[in-house]
Each structure stands twice: as C-alpha cells, then as structure tokens.
C-alpha cells in the first residue's frame, strides 16, 4: 500500500504565497509562469566570519558582590569605551591604555560603580542569506536585514514580495532579499563594519548594479550601504560607475534626496489617496503605529504634518499612549538621541506607558504596522478598533487575520502597494547613479506621489471591478470582471504585469 502524500508543512513562505495562489487561480495565470514564480530562482546561504573586539560584560548584582572591595579603574580614554544597548561595553582602540587598571580574575570596576568581566574578542561566524526570487522584469532588487530572527523561509517570502512590489510600482526590477542572522545592537561600530565588509566580500560574486541591487531593511541603514558600496567597488577602475550596486545611500555619496523617508512617504500618500477617494482628508484623523524606525517614524511625521494625530506607538521595547496626541517631532528627537541606546519610544515623557496588548484596543481611524511580519494575528484582528490598516511593514497580517479584517469591514492598504515608496525611490536613485544626475527632493516627491497614487488607483479599480482610463491611470487591462479584496487586487496587478514579460518575450531554452 502506498503511504498517503504528506500534508505540505505550513511555513512563513507558504502562508505568504497563499495570496499568490488565490490571485493566480482567479486570473488563470499561465501554468509555466506560475511554476517560474512559485519558487525563487536562487537561494544562497553562506557564512560570514569576523574577529570581535574585547568587551566588558556587566556582572549581575549578586555576582558583583564577590568583588565588593575591587577599586574603580580610572579610564583615561573614555572615547574608547562604546556602550551597547545590552549593557556590554566594547573596548575600541587602546581604550584602557594609560589608565590605572585594577583587574582581579579578569574583572574590573568602572566609575559607574558596576563590575565587569573582561571578555577577550574572539572570531565569530554568522549565517547570511541572499534569495533571488525572480528577474523577469529586471535585476533582482530588495533589502538586507540584520536581525536575530531571520531564516531562509522568511527571506524567500520577503524576496517574492519584492517581485510583486516592483511590478506594482512599475519599476524595472525583480525581487530579492537577504541579510545576516545577528542582533546588530549587540555589536560595536567597528565590529558591524567588519561583518558588513566581509558580508559584501561574500556577496560580490552574486550581485551587481545590473544583476541584484540590495537596499536597507530592518537593522540596516545608509551607513551600512556606504560600507557595502565601498567594499564592492574597492580597487575597481570604474568605481564611480558602480554606485548603483546598492540604493538607500547617503545623498552625499550618490543617494537620492527623499529616499530615507520614501517608504513612510509612500504610506502617507496611499492613506491620503484613500481618504481623497471618499471625499475626506487625513486632517483630523487619528492613528496608531507599530514600529518607530525608518518607516514608522517617517510615516508618523508626514501623517502628522498632514493634520492627523498619533495616539499610540509600540516598538520592540515597549508601548506608549497619549489620548491627546503624541508630539511626533519631539518623539523622533527622543528616539534619535544618542543617549537612547535602544532607539526606543519607551520612556518618552510626552506619553504614558501601556502594555503591548493594549495597543490593539486603542480606538483610532488608522493603524500603520511598520515593524515585523505576522504581528496582526487573528486575535489582534478581532480586537482592533481602527477603520483602516495601512501596511508599512512587509507581511504584517496573517491570512486568518486578513479574513477577519474583511469580515469586520476594516479596510486595508496592502503592503505591496503601501510600502512600495522605498523601492520606487530606490529606482530613482539607481537612475540618477547611472546618469550621474541629481534630482531635487521636490522632484523626487512629485514623481513618487504620481507613481504611488496611479498604481494604488489601478488596484482600487481592480478591487471594485471598475475598468477606466483617467488622466492619471488606466485600469482597463487589469480588471477581471468581478470584485475582489484589495490584497488580491494588488496581487492581480503584479501577476498580470509579470506574466506579460514571459508571454511576450517567451522562454529561453
Ligand atoms: P527599522 O529597523 O528602521 O525599524 C524597525 C522598528 O520595528 C523599530 O522601531 C523596532 O523597535 C520595531 N520592532 C522590531 N521588532 C519589534 C517587535 N517584535 N514588536 C514591535 N516592534 C518591533 O526598520 P524599517 O526599515 O523601518 O522597516 C520596518 C518594516 O518595514 C519591515 O517590515 C521592513 O521590511 C518594511 N519595509 C522597509 C522599507 C525601507 O525602506 N526601510 C521598505 C519597505 C518595507
């Protein structure tokens, strides 16, 4: 007797692909195109090693008692001590040279009164990934994430999402994603630099400005992009022609004006258009946000400039609430303060602390999830007291939660359009690099606004089955003769655009 076929395991990737299959069925996606898109083109897993620095690790109060009569070490070169978010201190340069160091069994006491164990720097190995999902429409494109909770499965889901997003944004790229399994807040500046350079040393054979173009994501930023660019182009004769190897760079070294805020700006443009369509405005609306990093803080800033009021924020370290409205400028300054090592909203004086679970009960017009995936679970979806969810994060809503939101009449602006502002301006950066041009912020914002709103309107038309051509957009070739939910509509737009490349160009043999 034959054993029954095993039930396919449910993973982040299979969950993320549910919407792909639903949309593919609805439009009867060409079978071969479906096979091409179901799995990534390439999945790279590799390892990055780096030599860590010596560090001081604080002892618990109980253990520190053993050293109660240990005198304080007077540190001459305080600049050399780098305090990390987890309380460890990296010894940079010759931090303790010339100091009166009193070490007992590898322990010393600093002027802060705490006892630290001196841990010599050793070499460490980190797991790294790059998934290249699809390049039918152009070079692979997608961010690099430095985070403790990453996996091949997660990067597959995020890379596929980039394929859909670049098609929706109508930029000539495919999809990719990658990163390192690491909590960057536990490493010093020079360690992160060494890990990043080694990462690019390994990545170099897989990517290129016309092959695969990384960008910032969770835990990475323009500083990391600068290091990646340098390592990629080091020693190359035409290094100025290689600037397009990464996007999201500082504007002073070939980044684009408006890129840093672009994802948050795109989220805000979508929300603005959502209300404009209903004859309303963002002004006077209230919102709550999860994640106050790049996407969350810029979205909050721009929405508040549009006249909306921020009521609550949750991040990795805690949640804050103020029913009268949180001053977003003051909150951004608080989070950016170098003394705020965790870059957290926690402790902000202009709001009270609440529990994370209470965030979902705050009554507001809009929720912007802008942290990690899978946060809006079925439970959360049942509790939410908002009217609109605008997904700044990638994959924040589980498929069960999606169905509950729909049943409860909570509207959705799905991630693949809502957060497409980042990759859209990354494309502008890439063009500027290729052409050696420099566009103004106003020009970038204007192009971005048109691109976001044009594609969002096409998605709304698909959803309502309202084919039409206006001065701004043309949805006639995308509507499918029946109404569908917005997430499915966005996927239909992506798949129709990708399918056209395969069907018109054919398949190489
Ligand atoms: P970031 O590292 O700048 O900020 C991440 C934020 O999420 C921080 O405030 C952090 O405290 C918070 N966070 C982390 N873990 C959390 C948890 N378990 N619970 C609550 N909050 C948590 O990252 P970012 O660039 O702002 O990216 C945020 C999301 O937006 C990610 O899903 C990313 O994939 C997506 N995204 C980013 C861009 C971009 O241009 N940066 C573009 C498209 C999509």
- Nearest one of 418, 444, 419, 442 to 429, comparing CA atoms: 444
Closest C-alpha to ligand 1, atom 34: 394
| Poorest-pLDDT segment among 255-259, 305-309, 430-434, 505-509 | 505-509
pLDDT exceeds 90 at position 9: no
Length in residues, the chain: 509
Asked whether the beta carbons of 283 and 308 are under 8 A apart, the reply is yes
Q: What's the mean pLDDT in 273-281? A: 98
As a whole number of angstroms, the distance between CA 418 and CA 435 comes to 28
Does the CB atom of residue 376 touch ligand 1 within 6 A?
no
> Which ligand 1 atom is at minimum distance from the Cα of 165?
43
How many whole angstroms from 497 Cα to the centroid of ligand 1?
28
Closest C-alpha to ligand 1, atom 14: 316
Only one residue has tokens 């999945």, namely: 43
As a whole number of angstroms, the distance between CA 359 and CA 371 comes to 14
Q: What's the mean pLDDT in 98-115? A: 91
**What percent of the chain is predicted at pLDDT more than 90?**
94
Given this model, what pLDDT does residue 76 score?
Answer: 85
As a whole number of angstroms, the distance between CA 343 and CA 425 comes to 25
| For the chain, domain boundaries | 42-47+132-253, 53-121, 261-419
Given this model, what pLDDT does residue 99 score?
Answer: 83
How many whole angstroms from 33 Cα to the centroid of ligand 1?
32
Q: What's the mean pLDDT in 270-277? A: 98
How many whole angstroms from 219 Cα to the centroid of ligand 1?
8
CATH of domain 261-419: 3.40.50.720
* DSSP conformation letters of 121-166: --EEEEEEEEEEEE-SSSSEEEEEEEESS--HHHHHHHHHHHHHHH
Q: What's the mean pLDDT in 94-121? A: 91
> Which ligand 1 atom is at minimum distance from the Cα of 296?
26
pLDDT interval class at 441 (50, 70, 90)? very high
As a whole number of angstroms, the distance between CA 145 and CA 149 comes to 10
Asked whether the beta carbons of 494 and 20 are under 8 A apart, the reply is no
**What percent of the chain is predicted at pLDDT more than 70?**
99
pLDDT exceeds 70 at position 449: yes
Asked whether the beta carbons of 320 and 354 are under 8 A apart, the reply is yes
> Which ligand 1 atom is at minimum distance from the Cα of 372?
32
Only one residue has tokens 């160009």, namely: 505
How many whole angstroms from 294 Cα to the centroid of ligand 1?
7
Asked whether the beta carbons of 26 and 492 are under 8 A apart, the reply is yes
Q: What's the mean pLDDT in 2-15? A: 80
Does the CB atom of residue 295 touch ligand 1 within 6 A?
yes
Given this model, what pLDDT does residue 508 score?
Answer: 82
How many whole angstroms from 394 Cα to the centroid of ligand 1?
9
CA angle 368, 39, 506 (to 5 degrees): 110
pLDDT, tens digit (0-9, with 9 covering 90-100), for 310-334? 999 999 999 999 999 999 999 999 9
Does the CB atom of residue 316 touch ligand 1 within 6 A?
yes
Given this model, what pLDDT does residue 329 score?
Answer: 98
| Poorest-pLDDT segment among 3-17, 423-437, 490-504 | 3-17
User: b/e for 187-196, b at 16 or more Cβ within 10 A?
Assistant: bbeebbbbbb
- H or E segment to which residue 502 belongs: helix 486-505
Given this model, what pLDDT does residue 78 score?
Answer: 85
Closest C-alpha to ligand 1, atom 42: 422
Task: Give me the chain's average pLDDT, please.
Answer: 96
CA angle 503, 507, 509 (to 5 degrees): 165
pLDDT interval class at 75 (50, 70, 90)? confident
| Torsion sign, CA atoms 296, 298, 301, 305 | negative
Given this model, what pLDDT does residue 1 score?
Answer: 60
Does the CB atom of residue 322 touch ligand 1 within 6 A?
no
As a whole number of angstroms, the distance between CA 356 and CA 378 comes to 16
Given this model, what pLDDT does residue 95 score?
Answer: 84
pLDDT interval class at 198 (50, 70, 90)? very high
How many whole angstroms from 297 Cα to the centroid of ligand 1?
10
As a whole number of angstroms, the distance between CA 163 and CA 33 comes to 13
Does the CB atom of residue 40 touch ligand 1 within 6 A?
no
By annotation, the residues acting in catalysis are 177
Closest C-alpha to ligand 1, atom 36: 393
Q: What is the dihedral of CA 334, 196, 178, 207, to 10 degrees?
A: 130
- 261-419 and 42-47+132-253 share a CATH fold: yes
As a whole number of angstroms, the distance between CA 467 and CA 470 comes to 10
Residue 167, CA atoms < 13 Å, CB-side half-sphere = 29
How many whole angstroms from 276 Cα to the centroid of ligand 1?
27
> Which ligand 1 atom is at minimum distance from the Cα of 392?
30
Does the CB atom of residue 231 touch ligand 1 within 6 A?
no
pLDDT exceeds 80 at position 253: yes
Determine if the pTM surpasses 0.75: yes
pLDDT, tens digit (0-9, with 9 covering 90-100), for 169-195? 999 999 999 999 999 999 999 999 999
Does the CB atom of residue 292 touch ligand 1 within 6 A?
yes
Does the CB atom of residue 315 touch ligand 1 within 6 A?
yes
As a whole number of angstroms, the distance between CA 282 and CA 271 comes to 7
Given this model, what pLDDT does residue 93 score?
Answer: 84
Does the CB atom of residue 52 touch ligand 1 within 6 A?
no
pLDDT exceeds 80 at position 360: yes
Pocket test for ligand 1, best of 291, 300, 377, 425 (most atoms within 8 A of CB): 291
Q: How far is CA 225 from CA 128, 150, 198, 231, in A?
A: 16, 19, 13, 10
> Which ligand 1 atom is at minimum distance from the Cα of 415?
44
CA of residue 79 relative to chain centroid, distance: 32
Asked whether the beta carbons of 245 and 233 are under 8 A apart, the reply is yes
How many whole angstroms from 102 Cα to the centroid of ligand 1?
42
As a whole number of angstroms, the distance between CA 48 and CA 123 comes to 10
| Torsion sign, CA atoms 402, 403, 408, 413 | positive
pLDDT interval class at 261 (50, 70, 90)? very high
Residue 329, CA atoms < 13 Å, CB-side half-sphere = 1
Structure tokens at 50: 């780096």
Given this model, what pLDDT does residue 478 score?
Answer: 98
We find that the CATH architecture of domain 42-47+132-253 is 3-Layer(aba) Sandwich (3.40)
Does the CB atom of residue 291 touch ligand 1 within 6 A?
yes
Does the CB atom of residue 217 touch ligand 1 within 6 A?
yes
> Which ligand 1 atom is at minimum distance from the Cα of 297?
26
Asked whether the beta carbons of 503 and 41 are under 8 A apart, the reply is no
Closest C-alpha to ligand 1, atom 31: 393
Closest C-alpha to ligand 1, atom 3: 293
Given this model, what pLDDT does residue 98 score?
Answer: 81
Q: What's the mean pLDDT in 105-122? A: 95
User: b/e for 142-154, b at 16 or more Cβ within 10 A?
Assistant: bbbbbbeebebbb
């Amino acid at each position: 007797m034959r054993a029954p076929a095993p039930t396919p395991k449910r993973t982040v990737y299979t969950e993320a692909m549910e919407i792909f299959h639903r949309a593919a069925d609805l439009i009867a996606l060409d079978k071969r195109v479906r096979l091409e898109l179901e799995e990534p083109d390439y999945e790279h897993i590799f390892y990055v090693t780096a030599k860590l620095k010596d560090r001081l690790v604080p002892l618990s109060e109980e253990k520190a008692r053993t050293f109660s009569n240990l005198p304080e070490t007077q540190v001459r070169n305080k600049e050399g001590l780098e305090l990390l978010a987890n309380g460890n201190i990296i010894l940079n340069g010759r931090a303790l040279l010339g100091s009166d160091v009193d070490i007992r069994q590898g322990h010393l006491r600093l002027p802060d009164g705490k006892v630290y164990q001196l841990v010599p720097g050793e070499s460490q190995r980190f797991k790294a990934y790059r998934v290249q999902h699809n390049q039918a429409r152009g070079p692979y494109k997608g961010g690099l994430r430095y985070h403790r909770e990453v996996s091949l499965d997660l990067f597959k889901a995020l890379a596929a999402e980039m394929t859909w997003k670049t098609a929706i944004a109508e930029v000539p790229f495919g999809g990719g994603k990658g990163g390192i399994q690491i909590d960057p807040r536990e490493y010093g500046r020079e360690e992160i630099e060494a890990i990043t350079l080694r990462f690019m040393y390994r990545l170099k054979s897989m990517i290129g400005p016309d092959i695969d173009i990384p960008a910032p994501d969770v835990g990475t930023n323009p500083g990391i992009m600068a290091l990646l660019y340098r390592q990629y182009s080091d020693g190359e004769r035409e290094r100025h022609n290689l600037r397009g190897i990464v996007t999201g760079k500082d504007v002073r070294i070939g980044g684009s004006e408006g890129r840093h805020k672009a994802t948050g700006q795109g989220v805000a443009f979508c929300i603005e258009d959502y209300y404009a369509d209903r004859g309303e405005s963002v002004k006077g609306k209230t919102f709550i946000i999860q994640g106050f990093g790049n996407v969350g803080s810029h979205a909050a800033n721009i929405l508040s400039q549009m006249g909306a009021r921020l009521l609550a924020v949750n991040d990795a370290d805690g949640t804050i609430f103020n029913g009268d409205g949180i001053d977003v400028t003051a909150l951004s300054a608080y989070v950016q303060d170098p003394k705020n090592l965790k870059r957290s909203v926690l402790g902000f004086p202009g709001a009270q602390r609440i529990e994370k679970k209470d965030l979902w009960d705050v009554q507001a017009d809009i929720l912007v999830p802008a942290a990690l995936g899978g946060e809006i679970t079925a439970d959360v979806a049942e509790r939410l007291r908002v009217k609109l969810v605008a997904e700044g994060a990638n994959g924040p809503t589980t498929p069960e939660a999606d169905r509950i939101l729909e049943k409860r009449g909570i509207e959705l602006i799905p991630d693949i359009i809502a957060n497409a502002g980042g990759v859209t301006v990354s494309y502008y950066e890439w063009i500027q690099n290729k052409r050696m041009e420099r566009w103004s912020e106003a020009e970038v914002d204007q192009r971005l606004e048109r691109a976001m709103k044009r594609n969002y309107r096409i998605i709304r038309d698909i959803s309502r089955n309202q084919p039409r051509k206006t001065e701004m957009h043309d949805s006639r070739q995308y509507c499918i003769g029946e109404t569908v939910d917005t997430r499915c509509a966005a996927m239909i737009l992506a798949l129709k655009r990708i399918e056209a490349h395969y069907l018109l160009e054919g398949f190489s043999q």
